[in-house]
């Protein structure tokens, strides 16, 4: 879904990690695309979180989604 929102789809990466019983999905995008993925007042990222959490609920997983620019990611 994120690929359809950004200007630079080749820069999109999703990294999965575990933090405090949560599976954390970190979506890395180009600096100029962060605003497109977050959306006005966070509406787009909140919709993305809702979809991901609904899918995870079926398998009783706890998932968190965060969006960062590639330059902000230090991991």
pTM: 0.86
What confidence tens digit (pLDDT) does each residue in 1-53 have?
Answer: 899 999 999 999 999 999 988 899 999 999 999 999 999 999 999 999 999 99
The kind and range of the H/E element at 16 are strand 13-19
* SS3 call for 48: helix
**What radius of gyration do the chain's Cα atoms show?**
12
What domains, with CATH codes, occur in the chain? 2-69 (3.30.300.20)
**The pLDDT of residue 58 is above 90:** no
């Amino acid at each position: 879904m994120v690929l359809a929102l950004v200007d630079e789809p080749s820069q999109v990466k999703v990294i999965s990690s575990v933090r405090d019983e949560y599976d954390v999905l970190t979506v890395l995008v180009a600096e100029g695309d962060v605003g497109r993925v977050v959306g006005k007042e966070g509406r787009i990222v909140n919709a993305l979180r809702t979809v991901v959490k609904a899918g995870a609920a079926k398998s009783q997983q706890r998932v968190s989604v965060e969006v960062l620019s590639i330059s902000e990611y230090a991991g």
